Amino acid sequence: MLFVTDLTGYMYCSRKLYFSKVLHVREKPQEQSIKGTIKHAVFEHSGREDKDIIFAFTEKDTLEILEMKYRKVYYSVLMFQIQRAKKDLEAQGLKTLEIYQELWPFFLAEAKTKSLYFYNLAEEKKVYGEKLWLALPKSIPELRIVSEKLQLVGVIDRVDLVDGFIPVEIKTGSAPRDGVWKEHMIQIGAYILLLSEHYGKDISEGYVEYRAINERRKIVMNPFLKDEILELIQKVRNTLNRKELPAKTNDIKKCEKCGIRDICFSQV
């Protein structure tokens, strides 16, 4: 079975994927990936508090009270996740305090955005507490789908249940000026294929949420994207079944920040 992330890993560097999947060479977490993992974990774990916060939200509560509750949640989850990553951070020469100072403004802004969204919704619909919770658009977090037909596994950040199933991938890194990065298009496209097969429904779109700029960008499935993904699955499978290492990437910038560069460059 391949994972959807193997497809994007292949697009990044097929040789690196081969080292990881076939030769079981693990890369030490790099600075950007540690920060990305912390951010992702904070989103995931703090999202689990939504229900309790919304249930406790009454007509008398102000926007400031709601925002303060979200600040507290983000603060405690962020501190926990930074402590959890302490070893990896220190291995990269990074201090936990510096990481906190870098990431905290991001989550302060997130607390503001989230509380404003729930507050405005409550004001608009005039519902609070449990009724507000029930009025929210429903979604399934961290949905794992396995396709025997495609021999592919995907873990989708979130599936929004709005007139069907809409896969949503949360990205904490930079966003392109327009549209989405190619890897993200392939990832969402693959999730659309998995969801369509699993639920037996036509699903035509998905989204990437770029949290750094607070934008949600749409990806529409089409026959070309579908063919591209199916071809890519085959290419990845062929590469991983080969006996020899794939060639190095031509993008030297990727090698400069690669955690297995020494091992890679010592091989032909």
Residues 18-37 that bind ligand SF4 (CB under 6 A): 19
Q: How far is the CB of 238 from ligand SF4 (least distance, A)?
A: 18
Report yes or no: 191 and 208 within 8 Å, Cβ to Cβ. Answer: no
Residues 194-253 that bind ligand SF4 (CB under 6 A): 248-249
Question: Whole-angstrom Cα distance, residue 156 to residue 29?
Answer: 22
Q: Which residues contact 176 (CB under 8 A, 6 or more apart)?
A: none
* Dihedrals phi, psi of 103, to nearest 5 degrees: -85, -25
Q: How far is the CB of 23 from ligand SF4 (least distance, A)?
A: 11
* One residue of 73, 103, 229, 260 binding ligand SF4 per CB under 6 A: 260
Instruction: Please choose, out of 13-21, 44-52, 54-62, 83-91, the segment that lies near ligand SF4 by the rule CB under 6 A.
Output: 13-21
Q: Which amino acid is at 85?
A: A
Output 218 or 257, the one with its CB closest to ligand SF4.
257
Does an H or E element contain 140, and which?
Answer: strand 139-147
Output 4 or 13, the one with its CB closest to ligand SF4.
13
What is the number of residues in the chain?
268
Instruction: Please choose, out of 144-152, 172-180, 200-208, 259-267, the segment that lies near ligand SF4 by the rule CB under 6 A.
Output: 259-267
Token reading at 154: 């995907």
Instruction: Please choose, out of 14-22, 42-50, 78-86, 158-166, the segment that lies near ligand SF4 by the rule CB under 6 A.
Output: 14-22
**In this structure, are strands 166-171 and 205-210 parallel, antiparallel, or unpaired?**
parallel
Report yes or no: 223 and 190 within 8 Å, Cβ to Cβ. Answer: no
Task: Indicate the SS3 state at residue 152.
Answer: strand
* One residue of 2, 7, 13, 232 binding ligand SF4 per CB under 6 A: 13
* One residue of 8, 15, 150, 192 binding ligand SF4 per CB under 6 A: 15
* One residue of 4, 6, 9, 16 binding ligand SF4 per CB under 6 A: 16
**In this structure, are strands 2-3 and 152-160 parallel, antiparallel, or unpaired?**
parallel
Instruction: Point out which residues bind ligand SF4 (CB under 6 A).
Output: 13, 15-16, 19, 248-249, 254-255, 258, 260-261, 264
